[in-house]
Each structure stands twice: as C-alpha cells, then as structure tokens.
Structure 1
Amino acid sequence: MTHTAAPDRTDAAPADTTREELDAVAAAARRAFAVTVASTAAERATWIRAAADALDAARDELVPIADEETHLGTARLTGEVARTTAQLRLFADAILEGSYLEATIDHPDATTIPPRPNLRRMLRPLGPVAVFGASNFPFAFSVAGGDTASALAAGCPVIVKGHPAHPRLSARTAEIVAGALDAAGAPEGIFAHVTGHETGVALVQHAEIRAVGFTGSLGGGRALFDLAQRRPDPIPFYGELSAVNPVLITPAADAARADELAAGLAGSFTLGAGQFCTNPGVVLVPAGSGFGERVRAALDMAAAGPVPMLTDGIAAAFAAGVAGVAGRDDVEVVAGDPAAQQAGTGSPVVLRTTTAAVIADPGALFHECFGPSTLIIEYADVADALAAVRAVGGSLTATVHAEPGEELAPIVEVLSEIAGRVLFAGWPTGVAVSWAQQHGGPWPSTTTIHTSVGVSALRRFLRPVAYQDAPDAALPPELRDGNPLGIPRRVDGVLVAPSGTAGDAAGAAGDTGAAPAAG
C-alpha cells in the first residue's frame, strides 16, 4: 500500500523513489480511486480513525525520531502528535455529518424561465492527490497532516512526498499509516510515500495526479505551481508559501499596555525558533513609542539566545535574510546581531524602520525571514499605518491590538483585504483546527482562496457534479428522495437539517419548510 525504500540501517533515510516505482504507486492510487469514489462516509471514517489510533499508539516511538531530526523538543512534538490525530478524527466526524457535500436538490418547476428540470448537485472527489510534507510541522503538516487527512476524508487516494528535513520520521510515519489503513480494510494503493527532489517534480506532472497540496517556500512552491499549470491538463495546486502576518498596535493600546504587548510579541516571534508560517514578521507601532526597546527588554528577561533550527539550510537562509534587511540604510537594528548568527541556529533579531521606507520598497522590507525575527515599523497615525499594511500583499493573518471603544471598521476593512484570518487579541502563532478556521490568504501567502486547516480544507479535493432528471436509483444516496443518509441538504432553495435519521422526506416531496443546519 505504501512505497518507502527499505534502508540498510534503521537510522538511514530511505532511498529516492525511482520513476518506475512512482509509476507503480500512481497506478495503484488510480485503482484505489475506483473504490474510494464509491465508498461511504462511514467506511472512510473508519479508515481515518484507524490511522489516528495507530499514530497515537506509536507516539513514544515517533517523537524521539522527530526530535532528533527537527530539534523541536519532546513537549512540542508530543503535542503535535495529539493535534494530528485529533485533526484526523475531526475529518472523520465531518464527513459523517455530511454538510461538506453541499447536497442540493431543485425539483422540476415548469413556471420558471426557462423551465427547471429535476436537478440534483453534490461534491465528489477529484482523484489521486499529491501531498508535499512541510519542514516545520513534521506531524501536523506532513505525512499524516491536514492535506492528507482532508484528501482521504474526501475520498481521494494520497501520495505523500516526504520532506528531506525529517526523512526517517516520514518513512516510519508512512509505514504506520499504511499498515493501519490496510488493517481497517482500505483499498490497496490508497496511500503511498515517495522521496526525492526529482520525484516531487515528476509527481506534480504525473498524469494520474488530480490535485496537489503543498506547504513550503515561496520559490519552491511557485516552481511546482507553474509545473502544475503547464501540464497538458492543468490541475489545482494548493500551496501555502510565504507570509509576514502584520500586526497593528493602535496608539491607545500602546499607551495602555505596551509592556504586555512587547512581551507577547517577543514570545510569539521566537516560538519554535520563529519557524511558524504565522510568525508576526511585521509590527506597526506609533512613532517614538519606544516599543522596540520594550521588546528588547522582554527578550533580555527571557534570556532568549541561539536555538537549533530545523535544518542548516534554513538557518543559513535566515541569517542571510536578516543580514540583508539589516544592512539597509533605512533599517535600524534594535535587538540581536544579524551578522553574528551561528551555523545551524537562530538568534532573535528585532529591526526597525518607517512607513515611508516600506512603502517605497515593500518587496525588500516585506520579505519573509523564516526564523526568529520581526520588523517594527513606526507610523505617524493610523491612516499612515494602513497605507503600509496595504503594501504588505497577501498574508495568512493580520492582527490589530486596540482598546475598547476604538473605531475599528477602517482597520478591519484593510486587514480583511490582505489576510485570511483577522485577529483582535493575542498573537497569530497557533492555528486552531475547527469548522470555522481559515488558514490561507491572498498571494503570496497561498495560491488559492481555500484553507489548508479546518473542515473546509475538504473543499480543495472535491468538485461539483449535477444530475439532471436522473432516476432515483441512479443517484448517489446523498441525493435520493427521502434522504436515506440523513444529511443536511438544500431543497428548492431552503436548507434542510434533518433531525435524527428521519431525513427530509417531506422536503423531497416538495415541503420546503426547514430549520437551520448544524455546523
């Protein structure tokens, strides 16, 4: 069910997947799709929960491997396993609830112009999906992470390209997931793990792949996105790429709780050595407030120093990035030493500039430095700050810290234009997995309007199909008269949420009275 080249030693990384092996894996995924596309939500939920249970059972084996390869620490990684398995179970619950299918029924109506036939519409899975594991979340955004979980829940076989930052963990996790799926009765070929840079390129271009989920660098993601679009049959590429996640602190908030906010920022941008996609990389504060010095004091109090980063390459890129920004004439170093970063580690750096500087050259100053740094931008007034925010470009998050009673509408309007999630308290690091979550924003944060976290992530791997004047027996159960599965459906324009398992037989017969749908 899964391909992971057998290492010669237990501590060796798997060999790169050959093209012949990739072709075999892709063919198996296509065969598996014939089963998964016809599977029930209950069957898929059983498979997914089996994978979650197996990962929980293997936690004490997997966490030490992950810590050795990523330096993220036992506590963080143990929590990430729990997040990963909870995410799998959430998708299992969601597909049983059924509203994700957007099942819609329009009964015939000869009075409309043009006359309306019997139309029934729902979402169905795309086909085999390629998933690229991320470096910074070796469980939650990797082999069994959100892309894999949502694709399997949707009914799509998955081929994961393991990340080279944690190769042994990827291979072992894949073995556990594959074994659990097999034992739970999932079809052969539903899940596979492949390795190698060239393999990843070939995977995106493979004729059997119908969509791609990616979390990684802007450069790497853009290259793969272009490959997906240049195929003879272009496919969706759902990439999470780069974000600076601006934070705006109003003058009133700065006056009321500057020390608290400085400590919060220091804790957020150094969390996990700053290797979070939601790291607050840009913070706008009133000019002359001394906020940067408060952040420096908070770092000194926390004794924040060098910490190991995920890979030597990431550490080197971080050092080069902060040194490049700090070397500009219009940028001041407030804390840390960009020129003294040690190999393989990252030390906190706080830089400061003005709104005039970032508006004049946003491409250089709003460049994401993946690591423990933040750029403080001093503004004259809120309108000046918002002009700088507009220059940021797309971001995953945008945050405002204000005081009760302040007028927030103009701020929220601008933040909503550039980000997928707008925060009014706290800090953006930390992404809850839920029905309402949105983890995605305008380019360059993502290549799509969809979320990669939360139940709505399912939508990426589904496409709508309408059935016109179909006999009831030819319809999927989700669209048949009587609603045999008891799922929420929109019937003649009215959302019908069945109580218990009684279904919406009355609605199917033409009664459109309904109650609000759950979830």
Structure 2
Amino acid sequence: MGKQLTPACPFFVYVKMMGLQEIQLTDLQQVESVMQNALHAANSYKSIGKEQKADFLEEIAKQIELLGNDLIQTAMAETNLPEARLVGERGRTCNQLRMFASMVREGSWVEASIDTAQPQRLPLPKPDLRKMLIPLGPVVVFGASNFPLAFSTAGGDTASALAAGCPVIVKAHSAHRKTSVLVASAIAKAIKIVNVPENVFQHVVGRYDIGQALVKHPVAQAVAFTGSFTGGKALFDIANQRHRPIPVFAEMGSVNPVCLLPEKLEGEAVSLAKELAASITQGVGQFCTNPGLMIAIESDALVTFTEHLKEAIHQVAPAKMLHPGIAQSYHEGISSVFSDEDLTVLAAVDKIDDESGNALVATVPALVFLERPSLHQEIFGPYSLLVKCKDKAEMLAVVNALEGQLTATIMGTESDINQYTDLLNKLTSIAGRVMINNVPTGVEVCPSMVHGGPFPATTDARFTSVGTSSVKRFVRPVCFQNFSQSILPLELQDGNPGQIWRLVDGVFSKS
C-alpha cells in the first residue's frame, strides 16, 4: 500500500513522521485499488495457520503498548478524554486482542463438526459430511467517535474480523485521526514482524462518500459500525441496495431503560439516586449504555429519589465532550427539552461553553411519553428522562412502547421482581443485556457479554460486538462433502483437536 497523500494535505507531514503508509482516498479509482489489495490479502490470509494468526493478534497488542505515553497524550489532545480513561481503554483494547488470540489457538470457535460416511446404510448410503465456519472476506470497519481505542482502529471489530480470517479496511474517524494513525502504525509493524499478508489491514481516510464507496464495492463482504442511528442506518441501506447485499453490523445506541420498582425504591431511594446520577454523567454521558430513561411509579419514595438525584446531578461539573460536533448535537437536543412544555426540568447544570456537556435530567408523565415517540429517542450526552407512572399498568405500557435496546435494567427486590415478571419478560424481549440492580454503564469484555440488541439498537440482534462470540459476525458455515483427508481443511481432518461433534454409527460424541 503506497502513500497517496499530497503535500497540500496538512496531515501529510505527521503521517510521514510516523512512517505509516496511509491512504487518503479522494476518488473511486483509489477505492478500487484498496479493495483489490484486500481481495488479494483475503486469498492468502484465510489459509495461514492458527498459531501465526494468534501471534499476529498478540503482536498488535504488544506494538500498541510499545507506543507508550505518546498514544495516551495524542488521544487526550484529540478527544478531551482523561488519562485514566484512555489508559484503561488501551488495556481493554490489548486484552481483547489477546483474548481473540487465545480463542484462535484453542480452535473450537470454528465449530468443526464431522458426520462420518455410512456406505452400507439402507435404503441409501450416507456420504462423509464435515462442516466448519470460514471467513466471509474483506470487512470495512468504521472507527467510533466515543472509543478512540477500544472501538476504533484496533478495537473489537477489527480484532474479531482478523481473528475470523478476514482482511480489514479501517476508515478512521476524523475526530481522532492522529490517534488512529498511531494505532495503525502498530498494526503495520505487527504485519511485518509476524509476516502476514501486507494488506490484511489497510488504514484509510476520506469523505463520507468515500465510506459509501467502500461499502458499495463488490469486494466488501461485511461492514462494522459503532455510532449514531443516522450513520448506521445509512450504511445498512447502502449495503442492502447492492446487487449482492452484505451484512452491516451497526451498533447505533439506545436509551437503556432503568425500571425502579416500588419496594427497592422505598428502601434505597438515596443510594439509587447517587448511583444513577454517576452513571448518567460518567464520561460526560458519552457511552452507548448511558441510562437515558428511568421509569418509576409515583410515591413518596420517588419524591425522595428525585430530590437526591437533583442534588447529585448538580454536583457534577461540566466537562468537554469528545469533539465540537457531538457537543453541538447535545446542546441542540437539550435545548428542545427546555422549550418543551410537557417536560419538567428536574436538574440542570449551567452551561460553561459550547464544547462542554452540562448534565440535565427532566421528568414527564407516562401518558405524555406514550403519546410522543420523539421522547423515546436518545440524546447522546449526560441527559436522562424520568417517566412518572401512576401505577404498574402504566409502567408496563411505557416499556411496551419502547423499541430495541442495548440494555435494560430492573432495580428491584426479590419480592418486586416476583410481582413484575411480565415487565422482566418484556425487557428481555427488547434488550441484548438485561440486568438486575446494576447500572448499565460498564461493558465487561468476556465470552458471556452481549453488546447488541433488537433494531434500532443494532441492525442484527443475533450478534454481539463485544466478547469472543463477536467473531461470528464475520464467518459463515460451509459443508465439505466426500472430501479426501488430504484436501480437507486442517480443522476437519481426522484426529485434529478442536472439533465439536462426531457422528459414528448413528451416535454423537464430543471430541
């Protein structure tokens, strides 16, 4: 991949200093070159051994760590995120790369399954059938604005696609491009050290229409995106308008409802208020799991809760948001709250400047919420809406009106939950992660995590973008019938570890 930046580009000198061969896409001919590079890499990368692939993922993590404080300071300057947050995010990025490396080495993720032949079976003989997951092909990954490391250049989408055996084309997010270049330079070093195909990873920048062209290109086989509903839905529509549609795995956020049940609220109103205030304002509210909606039944305990919530919110000073565009969108969103006669502002921190996010919590009667679908939408930032219900029936009606969510939470005692099983069942049907007595912010990276949910939280509720099972987005099953041992994939050859099921003489056994 050669440099195609021009000296007129203000970023040219920086990229040259970093020694990264970055492509700045300005026309469709360059898109064609990038995609052909990816296609060429796909044909060789899918065939490399699992040890080399695992070594590659681990080497990326090592090279990211070797970037040291330069990476943290660059990300701080570009995103306004604090050092501690970015150090933690770097750790998460590297840990998930190593997690996928362990998964690749262990091997069972390919779900190798063997049904041996039964040539004597009557009335018809049974052929030898063997199945496993294989990589889809080149994946286009769009960097996220709110996670410059963990959901961007070498984040979960890139790590899981590379683990699956797919080349990756990352379109860097413009809000933290220097950070992206640093991480891309670490991947480029890992490619050379481990000797994997040169174009298994390509880092590109360009206008919005260039991103569209990448998705439209016939070589692209899947898309991964974390961001707004508008952006994710646009990519989804483009991919489905292709001659051969491809999957778009877009995580587009949600309001993450939190239901406060009566007995729990009666006993813990003060602690719940503090806990939720901290979650609403964590990271200036710039998490896709921010609790943007609270639902409760009117009571004296709810009055106590709101008083302490108001106090806790007022104690949180405004801080700069990720970039001016996000701050502008947030201020436009909360300005509509102030002008809405149906909403009551419970707590509002004074705005200090146009780039900072000042916390705001408003309340609304359940009947108004039910009549106004616009109130069901996310305002990305330190904002939450408390829906006040008259009784259990109204609470259920509010939950029934909600669309797909990344998370849903019940704050309740055992007794509460036993009385609200229908509420729990409904929340389970609309969310990818359902929790009891935990705030939704904080996504553990592990095999059991689901970071996804029904539309419009994501474009495909069957998958997660966090955890080892996120690799399933970028593979498909293939059955190999009547293959000799020598031409079977290694994972399907007799005696190879990592196989799942074997059917011999009509009996299943696990390898």
* TM-score category, normalised to shorter length: over 0.9
Structure-1 residue corresponding to 2:52: 43
* One-letter amino acid of the counterpart of residue 10, structure 1: Y
Structure-1 residue corresponding to 2:308: 294
1:472–1:481: 8 Å Cα contact kept in structure 2? yes
Structure-2 residue corresponding to 1:503: none
The TM-score with structure 1 as length reference comes to: 0.91
* 1:279-335 superposed Cα distances (whole Å, 9 cap, x missing partner): 0000112214213222111123xx212210011111111111122234222211000
Q: Secondary structure at the match of 1:27?
A: helix
- Residues in 2 aligned to 1:48 and 1:54: alpha-carbon distance in whole angstroms: 10
Structure-2 residue corresponding to 1:411: 423
The TM-score with structure 2 as length reference comes to: 0.92
The Cα of 1:11 is off from its aligned counterpart by: 9.0
- Residues in 1 aligned to 2:23 and 2:490: alpha-carbon distance in whole angstroms: 44
Listed as ranges, the matches of 1:34-433 within 5 Å are 34-109=43-118, 116-196=126-206, 197-288=208-299, 289-290=302-303, 291-300=305-314, 303-336=315-348, 340=351, 342-362=353-373, 364-406=374-416, 407=418, 408-433=420-445
Range with bigger deviation, 17-26 or 162-171: 17-26
- Residues in 1 aligned to 2:54 and 2:102: alpha-carbon distance in whole angstroms: 7
The Cα of 1:112 is off from its aligned counterpart by: 7.9
The Cα of 1:183 is off from its aligned counterpart by: 1.5
Query: Percent identity at matched positions?
Result: 40
* One-letter amino acid of the counterpart of residue 473, structure 1: S
Structure-2 residue corresponding to 1:17: 25
- Residues in 2 aligned to 1:58 and 1:239: alpha-carbon distance in whole angstroms: 29
Q: Secondary structure at the match of 1:120?
A: strand
- Residues in 1 aligned to 2:48 and 2:23: alpha-carbon distance in whole angstroms: 34
* 1:105-140 superposed Cα distances (whole Å, 9 cap, x missing partner): 222356588764321111000111100000000000
The Cα of 1:182 is off from its aligned counterpart by: 1.8
Residue 71 and residue 11 in structure 1: after superposition, are their counterparts in 2 closer, same or farther (change >3 A)?
farther
The reply on whether 1:451 has 2:455 as its aligned counterpart is: no
* 1:461-514 superposed Cα distances (whole Å, 9 cap, x missing partner): 0011001122122211111122x2x1141222xxxxxxxxxxxxxx6x876444
Which runs of 5 or more residues in structure 1 are unaligned? 493-506
2:363–2:387: 8 Å Cα contact kept in structure 1? yes
The Cα of 1:242 is off from its aligned counterpart by: 2.6
- Superposition CA RMSD, Å: 2.1
* One-letter amino acid of the counterpart of residue 131, structure 1: V
* One-letter amino acid of the counterpart of residue 421, structure 1: R
Range with bigger deviation, 385-394 or 138-147: 385-394
2:76–2:82: 8 Å Cα contact kept in structure 1? yes
- Residues in 1 aligned to 2:2 and 2:284: alpha-carbon distance in whole angstroms: 33
2:79–2:323: 8 Å Cα contact kept in structure 1? yes
The Cα of 1:380 is off from its aligned counterpart by: 2.4
2:313–2:349: 8 Å Cα contact kept in structure 1? no
1:108–1:116: 8 Å Cα contact kept in structure 2? yes
Aligned length: 494
- Residues in 2 aligned to 1:10 and 1:360: alpha-carbon distance in whole angstroms: 52
Range with bigger deviation, 127-136 or 233-242: 233-242
2:2–2:23: 8 Å Cα contact kept in structure 1? no
Residue 353 and residue 115 in structure 1: after superposition, are their counterparts in 2 closer, same or farther (change >3 A)?
farther
The Cα of 1:3 is off from its aligned counterpart by: 6.0
Range with bigger deviation, 131-140 or 417-426: 417-426
* 1:171-192 superposed Cα distances (whole Å, 9 cap, x missing partner): 2211121122222111111001
- Residues in 2 aligned to 1:510 and 1:381: alpha-carbon distance in whole angstroms: 57
1:319–1:341: 8 Å Cα contact kept in structure 2? no
1:107–1:510: 8 Å Cα contact kept in structure 2? no
Range with bigger deviation, 268-277 or 341-350: 341-350
The Cα of 1:198 is off from its aligned counterpart by: 2.3
Structure-2 residue corresponding to 1:500: none
* 1:195-221 superposed Cα distances (whole Å, 9 cap, x missing partner): 122221111111211110001111111
- Residues in 1 aligned to 2:375 and 2:307: alpha-carbon distance in whole angstroms: 20
- Residues in 1 aligned to 2:130 and 2:424: alpha-carbon distance in whole angstroms: 38
Q: Secondary structure at the match of 2:175?
A: coil
Structure-1 residue corresponding to 2:451: 439
